[in-house]
Amino acid sequence: MNKTLWSVLVALGLVAPFIVYPIFLMKLLCFALFACAFNLLIGYAGLLSFGHAAFFGGAAYVTGYLVKYAGVTPEVGILIGTLFAALLGFLFGSLAIRRQGIYFAMITLALAQIIYFVAVKSPFTGGEDGLQDIPRGMLLGLIDLNHGYSIGGKTLELNLYYFIFGLFCFGFWVVYRAIHSPFGQVLKAIRENEPRAVSLGYRVERFKLLAFVISAALAGMAGAAKGLVFQLASLTDVNWHTSGEVVLMTLLGGLGTVFGPLVGAFTVVALHSQLSSLGSWVMVVIGIIFVVCVLSFRRGVVGELGRLLKRSL
């Protein structure tokens, strides 16, 4: 993709907190990263995981706990949280990739449910209360992430925003590199025709597992970042509704497109915040979007756009 487009996007990301409420932006970024990670799995390896909340929320808990009680700096906390998600992804992946399609989806869902109940019951997650009051801490021990700058009568938490933005850029870059590498090509080959990939001598299971682990790790990074932003890791993060939501984001934006998950995540998060006064009609709206997407819009927003422009986005 050309350089100007990238520069424009990054510049947009940099000035955005001066225009839009930074916390909202950070939420967008976290979910966008989550959706990108998820897309790597479903869009490129053709595996529908219905348990990604376990990585997202699990990492949020681990990072939150370490930052709050072990006093580690936020970047170390996020790193360990991400590693935890990767490890969990390895375990889940090893169990789940033995089956395909619907079976795969249901097994990931049930495995994630174990994590959910562990989070409900174990003392270190705070159960129903969640892990509250997670300090944002000092980045590298130097930069106070909690610091707010007063600009135009508003307090902007810019340190944190640029940290999260940096994380997002990194995650997005990892996904982009993975897709546009021989590894990504093999994944696509597996998605299109698995027996053929096998006959070409690829050890399909290993590729799938690696894709699963990368996806889980990045989902974990997104969750850990969200934990820092809202200073809270809660059961919502590990609930299966969150797993469903990330499916929707990716589907709505466009499976297997680079920018689709971003568009999908932005739309869904914006919907949530714009419609929050409507109470649970939000859930109805989201359900309707789901149905419409599946019935007549399976390529998603970016996918359809790409088809019109005749190029892959």
68-127 residues near other proteins, rule: CB under 8 A: 95, 98-99, 101-103, 105-107, 109-111, 113-114, 117-118, 120-121, 127
Nearer to other proteins among residue 80 and residue 156 (C-beta) = 156
Among 166, 188, 189, 313, binds other proteins (CB under 8 A): 166
Q: How many residues does the chain have?
A: 313
CB of 134 to other proteins, least distance (A): 10
Q: Which of 69, 124, 144, 173 binds other proteins (CB under 8 A)?
A: 173
Q: What whole-number distance in Å separates Cα of residue 71 and Cα of residue 13?
A: 30
For other proteins, the closer of residues 162 and 183 by Cβ is: 162
- Cβ-contact 219, 55 below 8 angstroms: yes
Nearer to other proteins, 154 or 206 (CB): 154
Rounded least distance, CB 286 to other proteins, Å = 6
Q: Interface mask (CB under 8 A) for other proteins, residues 213-242, using x and -?
A: -----------------xxx-xxxx--x--
Q: Count the Cβ atoms, other than its own, within 10 Å of residue 153.
A: 5
Cα→Cα distances 53→124, 147, 251, 271, 290, Å = 18, 30, 16, 20, 18
Q: In sequence order, which residues have a C-beta less than 8 Å from that of residue 10 and are 6 or more positions away?
A: 169
Site string (174-213) toward other proteins, x via CB under 8 A? ----------------------------------------
Cα–Cα distances (Å) from 136 to 35, 143, 145, 206, 223, in that order, read 24, 10, 6, 37, 14
Q: Which stretch binds other proteins (CB under 8 A): 79-87, 165-173, 216-224, 262-270?
A: 165-173
Q: Which of 140, 144, 154, 198 binds other proteins (CB under 8 A)?
A: 154
250-271 burial string, b = 16+ CB within 10 Å, else e?
A: bbbbbbbbbbbbbbbbbbbbee
Rounded to the nearest whole angstrom, what is the least distance from the CB of residue 6 to other proteins in the complex? 7
By CB under 8 A, is residue 45 in contact with other proteins? no
Instruction: Give which of 119, 132, 115, 103 is closest to 54, Cα–Cα.
Output: 115
Site for other proteins in 4-23 (CB under 8 A): 6-7, 10-11, 14-15, 21, 23
Structure token pair of residue 144 = 């106070």
Among 216, 221, 247, 265, binds other proteins (CB under 8 A): 247
Residue type at 202? Y
* CA 313 vs CA 3, 128, 169, 183: distances in Å: 14, 41, 17, 19
Q: Judge residue 169's burial from the number of C-beta atoms within 10 Å of its C-beta, 0-12 exposed, 13-18 middle, 19 or more buried.
A: middle
CB of 230 to other proteins, least distance (A): 6
Number of residues that bind other proteins (CB under 8 A): 79
- Select from 142, 295, 308, 309 the one that contacts other proteins (CB under 8 A): 295
149 binds other proteins (CB under 8 A): yes
